[in-house]
Structure 1
């Protein structure tokens, strides 16, 4: 039995006993469950399986520590009311906020963080990682690390712009339909149904094939695709508000439609709409990355995570994980946004933890 195996199980048993002694039920169950799982995996897979479990557990513990520290940091720098809300956030939501913050910093300060330009050729094709290139080079000899940093600005920025456009279109139409009602509501509803009946990827490919893969065309096409989803939710939320007595009182006072939307309906519909914005961003982000992977999204030489996966896919045949790094960046941001959205939905639902 190797020293690693003895040390590994010794630490697990010691920490489990310490957690049980101090009556820490949650940590004890987690640690002892990990001990039992590791025992089974050690018998089946040997020391290699235990090393994998140890690395995975270490990464989870590191992420939990970062999440806790970032949550406490936000509590200290925010206002009193907001800090009380953040204090109740689970570690998953704190982890999501930390990832979103990291991506925002990478996108905003990309020219200062990236060691090379996004289209600068500095080496041979598929050169391995060294002291100058942390992740090696791509198929043209460009630094992969620099292109991933710039991809945070291009891919996430484009998805954010498209999400904002879709959300403004859908939310405004939904609020207007709920306020006016009648034939106006019916017409907008049928238009939304027609657009939603068309598969989103086929619609996007058709638009980009006709008008060309330009940034403005991508934004407009994605906005048209996802605006009906926002319209349906906004119409449903606002429909529950317009029947309230204070809305009727405002109408009797002679208030106009814009006043009703801006001062009465929208403030009482904010929480679910903010959560919907996060969900729509995930859908738009994945669609934009998928279009780039198919070659109809952001065009070369601009760095984009979807196109980077396609351009370096041949490395997978040689056992290299380089193409998986931009794919992991896409997946990580999607999971992080969903963590934050889940917490926001929980808070807006009025449910409380027992």
Structure 2
């Protein structure tokens, strides 16, 4: 048994003992789980796996430390109301907001950050990483690092626009159906039921095959597929509001239906719809990446993370992790958005720790 293995388990045991003495249940449970998982992994795959576990634990510890530092800094800089709110945020939510901010800055300033153009050929096919090409080259000799940066602008930007369109359509039709009721509600409900009965991926592939895989068609097709889900949520939430006394009072005053929807109903459904926006963004983001991976999404030479995985998938056979980098970028943003949405749902529900 190597000195590293002994030191690894000694640190875990010592950390658990200190957490127990300080009566910190969370860290104690974390040390115990990590000790059990590390022991099983070492027995099944050998002591060498402990180095990978230690690196992963170090990355998680660094992420937690940076998130804590950002939360405390924001608490000092923000006004009293914002500081009180950010102090209640868990480290996972702060980490999610930090990741989202990095993605937004990368997308906005992509031309200034990327060392080369989006479709510029600067090296040989599948050129290994060096000082000029940090992640190497793709199948055409384009810089993968530059395309990864431009992919943030294209993939995230198109997903954001698509989600916004789906939300405008789904929210308005859902509020109209709940507010007007009767035959309007029945017709819109049956249309939504028909669209939801069709498998989304198959329907998207069919429509894109017919219309062609352009950015405009991709945006409209994905928005059409996800608008019915938003319709059902908006209709369900608004259905419990339109029967309230203040809605009836607005109608007795002679207010029009559009006024009731925009001034009375919409402000009271904003919190659940905002949380749903984050969740739907994740699904739209993954759907666009999946369609690009299948060849019917964002078309070359436009950089896109889904198509980058497909174009460089052959490198996996040679032990390269390059195709996994855009996949990891997709996964990281999805996890970050879910962290923030989970915190938003906790706040909107009125639950306390």
- TM-score interval (norm. to shorter): over 0.9
- Cα drift, residue 80 of structure 1: 2.5
Query: Residue 37 and residue 205 in structure 1: after superposition, are their counterparts in 2 closer, same or farther (change >3 A)?
Result: closer
**Per-residue deviation, 1:22:** 3.2
Moved more, 7-16 or 48-57: 7-16
Aligned to 1:156: 156
Match of residue 311 from structure 1: 311
Moved more, 47-56 or 108-117: 47-56
**Deviation of the 1:40 alpha carbon:** 4.3
Corresponding position of 2:245: 245
Residues 352 and 311 of structure 1: CA distance in aligned 2, closer, same or farther (over 3 Å): same
Given the alignment of the two structures, is residue 60 of structure 1 paired with residue 65 of structure 2, yes or no?
no
Judged with a 3 Å threshold, the aligned counterparts in structure 2 of structure 1 residues 217 and 45 are, in CA distance, closer, same or farther, namely closer
Find the residue that maps to 2:115 and give its secondary structure: coil
1:299, 1:33 → 2: CA distance?
45
Please list every run of 5 or more consecutive structure 2 residues that lacks an aligned counterpart in the other structure.
none
What residue is the counterpart of 1:266 in the other structure? 266
Tell me whether 1:286 sits opposite 2:286 in the alignment: yes
How far apart in 2 are the matches of 1:306 and 1:278? 20
Q: Unpaired segments of 5 or more residues in structure 1?
A: none
2:165 match: 165
Shift of 1:25: 3.1
Helix, strand or coil: the match of 1:47?
A: coil
- Shift, 1:32, TM fit: 4.1
Give deviations 1:242-266, integer Å, cap 9, x for gaps.
0000000111111111211121111
How many Å apart are 1:308 and its aligned residue?
A: 0.4
Structure 1 stretch displaced more, 189-198 or 16-25: 16-25
Give the whole-Å Cα distance in 2 for the aligned partners of 1:36 and 1:212: 52
* Alpha-carbon distance in 1 for matches of 2:22, 2:269: 46
- Structure 1 distance, partners of 2:243, 2:307, is 48
What residue number does 1:346 align with?
346
In the alignment, which residue of structure 1 is the partner of 2:227?
Answer: 227
Aligned residue in 2 for 1:326 = 326
Work out the CA distance in 2 between the residues paired with 1:203 and 1:45.
43
Aligned-residue Cα RMSD (Å) equals 1.6
Q: Say if 1:64 and 1:245 are closer, same or farther in 2 by CA, change over 3 A.
A: same
Residue 299 of structure 1 corresponds to 299
Cα distance, 1:43 vs structure 2? 4.2
The TM-score, its normalising length taken from structure 2, stands at: 0.95
Q: Distance in 1 between matches of 2:222 and 2:45?
A: 47
Instruction: Give the structure 1 partner of residue 276 of structure 2.
Output: 276
Per-residue CA shift, 1:271-314, capped at 9, x if unaligned?
10001111111111111111111111111111000110110011
The reply on whether 1:197 has 2:197 as its aligned counterpart is yes
Distance 1:62 1:303 in 2: 30
